[in-house]
Amino acid sequence: MNRAGLVAARLLQIVPTFLAIGTVVGLLVGYYGGIADAVFGQLVDLVVTFLVLVIAIVAVLGPGLGNMYVAVTVIGWCSTPG
């Protein structure tokens, strides 16, 4: 098995695990609500905003791994409190 096959096999192990964990956490937070609901809601908003901004910057810069690194770095640097 080549390297790409090993990476794909590992992802097929990891993704369902995180999917199950996320589902359980989401169900518990949704059921109990309160502060946990507010915190996780804000966390999801932050992650979605981060991804949308990275996609927009990569769309402007063009395809490529280097441009993705630049976009993630710029967004990470701008969102650092200070």
Please give the structure tokens belonging to residue 29: 């937070």
As a whole number of angstroms, the distance between CA 64 and CA 47 comes to: 22
Asked if residues 51 and 61 have their Cβ atoms less than 8 Å apart, the reply is no
Helix axes 34-61, 3-32, angle to 10 degrees: 140
Task: Identify the pLDDT of residue 78.
Answer: 63
Task: Identify the pLDDT of residue 60.
Answer: 92
Task: Identify the pLDDT of residue 81.
Answer: 58
As a whole number of angstroms, the distance between CA 62 and CA 14 comes to: 30
Task: Identify the pLDDT of residue 27.
Answer: 92
pLDDT block averages, 10 residues each, the chain of length 82: 82 88 91 90 83 88 87 74 54
Largest Cα–Cα separation, the chain: 48
